[in-house]
Amino acid sequence: MAFSRIFAFLIPQDKNFFKLFAQSSNNLVDISKVFSEMVNAPIERRPELLKKIADLEHIGDTITHQIFTELSTNFITPFDREDISYLASSLDDIVDYIDGSAKRLYTYKLGETSTAMKKLSDIIENSAKEIHVAVANLKDMNNVVRLREAIVRINSLENHADDIFDSAIADLFETEKDAIQIMKIKEVLSNMETATDKCEDVANVIETIIVKNT
């Protein structure tokens, strides 16, 4: 009887991780959509969209804090503690780099965004959607094929982002003569490209979880 009560107490805590990770990945999709909207929107809408992004970044921080609180207070976890920690941190990193890219785009008072920025924002959004699907499928591990498909897509998107970034930087140095403008544009592009790198980090930790648990 005592064991049953303990077991019943522990299992809901275990399930909390999946709920929180789902919230985190859903928030990631939301912020990536708003950022993509900001990149494609008229300049006058940037303050409004930047505020939305900042709000979503704060939500992401709160969810990440809740995950680490669960990790520090629960004995039972659905997978290795270090993988939970890394997954939570990696998801938070993506949100932070999206937020940083948005702040720089606004603060540097850049004019119309380049084609490369628009393409990178699309890649970030599509990667976020694949991450959300993968995180949702971590709960029961019944669809490992779908998990691996999502991982492959995320890796492919990151490779494409690298190509876009490299081409954009080469073109920037070739066509832009204002050194300060070069620095501003390069930093925005670099932050966006790093966001895609962080998406690949999430894919890597999910791959590790699959290997350990199937």
Task: Give residue 4's pLDDT band: very low, low, confident or very high (50, 70, 90).
Answer: very low
Task: Render pLDDT for 156-197 as a digit per residue (tens, 0 to 9).
Answer: 999 999 999 999 999 999 999 999 999 999 999 999 999 999
pLDDT surpasses 80 at 109: yes
Task: Render pLDDT for 89-98 as a digit per residue (tens, 0 to 9).
Answer: 999 999 999 9
State the number of CA atoms in the 13 A half-sphere of 49 facing the CB: 23
- Quick one: which of 98, 124, 108, 112 has its CA closest to 182? 108
Q: Which residues of 4-14 are buried (b: 16+ CB within 10 A; e: fewer)?
A: eeeeeeeeeee
pTM given for the model: 0.91
Greatest CA separation for the chain: 76
Contact criterion met (CB below 8 Å) for 94 and 158: no
Residue with tokens 């991450």: 131
In whole angstroms, give the CA distance from residue 203 to residue 130: 9
Alpha helices in the chain (DSSP H): 2-40, 46-73, 81-107, 115-137, 144-175, 179-213
- Reduced to 3 states (helix: H, G, I; strand: E, B; else coil), residue 178 is coil
What domains sit in the chain, N to C, each tagged with a CATH number? 12-213 (1.20.58.220)
